[in-house]
Structure 1
Amino acid sequence: MARVEPVVGEPAAVADLGSERALLVADVHAGIEVGLRYERGVELESRADARRERLCGLIDETDADRLVVLGDLAHRIAAPEGDEREELGTLIRSVTDRVPMTLVEGNHDAGVAEAFAADLDVIDPAGSVIGGGSVEESEGAVGVVHGHTWPDPALLGADVVCMGHEHPQVRLEDPVGGSRVERAWLRGRVDPAAFVGDDEPNPAAVDDPPELVIFPAFNERSGGTWVNVEGQSFLAPFLPDALPAGDAYLLDGTRLGGFRGI
């Protein structure tokens, strides 16, 4: 069985891929301050250096052999240029000086693979299985997908599927009416029929569907989906139906129980 273990206190996890130990993160959104300035006229001090140092520090601390980004390495939905491209280049060089880097293309990554083709291994937005050999011999296999498109049905053969895109958050209230919002993990068994869409052949025949792990956003400025707020729309086309009984966890490991009932 594949093991995907969150790093306590961080929006990151470590996966045993058999021949490699991988650090997984989602939604880095490098260049977000540039994007917010361009999109909304909002001026924020850049945290590019802090994000890069934090990510590289996690690679060192977890003794990872590879970094896998589950989509949205970049922020602006356009080919990177100017300050954003410079930030991305510095980040990618800092990572690849340590370990190889794999990017699952997200909806914000237009042009990133092309711009940095010599530096990145790139996985199609529909996802793929990494580790554990082929999906037919999937003991220990980990599926990876960003989450903005319908996934490749082959992911149903993995032990666990990791995704980003959703930026899950929970709103917690205290007895006197105060509230705070925290990033969260969602984990639970996949409903195969809801995961791959109506046009795919016989997904209900999957005897042992994988666990789905939805990662919190690495970038704390990127907003998110309040998963325990009634009426909140999810971003992924297969959610929430594909996760009928998922549990939510805070970054510190606190289990909040089923996300629908928090």
Structure 2
Amino acid sequence: MGRPAVDPVPGAPAATLDLSDERALAVADYHAGIEVGLRYERGVELDSNADVRRRRLLRLLSRTDADRVVVLGDLVHRIAEPDGVEAEEVRDLLDALDQRGVPLTLATGNHDGGVADVFPDRIEMLPTEGARIGDVGLVHGHTWPGAEVLSASTLCMGHEHPSVRLTDEVGGSRVERAWLRGPLLREPFEDALGDEAAELAWQDPELVVFPAFNERSGGTWINVEGESFLAPFLPEALASGEAYLTDGTRLGPYREV
């Protein structure tokens, strides 16, 4: 048997991807410079974790021996052209990857509008509707995926930052980042694709929703009543998905956790 298309790294919000001729390390929602954003958005003062984030990613790269890094959207935090400490964090990450000869591919997210202008030759940018590499579709998830992405056998996305609230026997609770995985339903995409829907090479793909790499970015609590999803096609397109913790613990159907 060949390698799985998506293989989560145990204990980490990351996975390796089989992209035919390459093995990639994939993460979602890196949110470089988030501390500056939290200061202006919420008045929260936090020391920068830029070095910690970079070292975590580089350790995962060494651990997986991947040929490429794929970020499934929101490499940066501000919804504007990155500058200052945000741009510096991205530049330091790219410099570290260059030293290892590892390129970075970014599936453009809703926070990434200015990334291509600041780093025009250093990042491979995928369009907002995503792209297919080998038999894996890559998309951030804030817009409807294109027909090319939906023709893959596996679709990887970020954007949701899925999390679960777990309660113990004495009433204590904690929030954990989680994976969502399950069969993707075709029907929600037919209206969005319009004329392209008839030409869609549908393979009954598996959808894999990545947990956020940045632990400070919050998320969608998938098991809290009344919590709404961010992607325009969720939860309708993932009716029977299951949730997993980053340590591999299977929580069962995500609507019943």
Q: TM-score range by the shorter chain?
A: over 0.9
The answer for the alignment partner of 1:124 in structure 2 is: 127
Say if 1:127 and 1:199 are closer, same or farther in 2 by CA, change over 3 A: closer
TM-score, L = length of structure 2: 0.94
Question: What secondary structure is seen at the aligned counterpart in 2 of 1:97?
Answer: helix
* Residue in structure 1 matching 2:255, options 246, 254, 260: 260
Return the letter of the residue paired with 1:178. Answer: G
Say if 1:121 and 1:159 are closer, same or farther in 2 by CA, change over 3 A: same
Say if 1:148 and 1:197 are closer, same or farther in 2 by CA, change over 3 A: farther
Name the stretch that deviates more: 108-117 or 197-206: 197-206
Query: C-alpha separation between the residues in 1 aligned to 2:198 and 2:234?
Result: 16
Q: Is the 8 A contact 2:137 2:156 kept in 1?
A: yes
How far the C-alpha of 1:168 sits from its partner, in A, is 0.1
Kindly report which structure 2 residues correspond to 1:58-137, keeping only aligned pairs within 5 A, or say none: 58-98=60-100, 99-131=102-134
In the alignment, structure 1 residue 177 sits paired with structure 2 residue 175: no
* Residue in structure 1 matching 2:42, options 37, 40, 43: 40
Q: Is the 8 A contact 1:169 1:225 kept in 2?
A: yes
The answer for the alignment partner of 2:206 in structure 1 is: 211
Which structure 2 residue ranges, 5 or more long, are not aligned? none
Return the letter of the residue paired with 1:118. Answer: D
Return the letter of the residue paired with 2:98. Answer: T
Kindly report which structure 2 residues correspond to 1:159-174, keeping only aligned pairs within 5 A, or say none: 159-174=153-168
TM-score, L = length of structure 1: 0.92
Q: How many matched pairs?
A: 253
Percentage identity across aligned positions? Answer: 61
Query: C-alpha separation between the residues in 2 aligned to 1:199 and 1:145?
Result: 15
How far the C-alpha of 1:84 sits from its partner, in A, is 1.2
How far the C-alpha of 1:114 sits from its partner, in A, is 1.5
How far the C-alpha of 1:112 sits from its partner, in A, is 0.7
Q: 4+ runs of 1 displaced by more than 6 Å?
A: none
Which structure 1 residue ranges, 5 or more long, are not aligned? 132-140
The answer for the alignment partner of 1:145 in structure 2 is: 139
Query: C-alpha separation between the residues in 1 aligned to 2:202 and 2:32?
Result: 39
How far the C-alpha of 1:230 sits from its partner, in A, is 1.2
In the alignment, structure 1 residue 250 sits paired with structure 2 residue 252: no
* Residue in structure 1 matching 2:187, options 181, 184, 193: 193
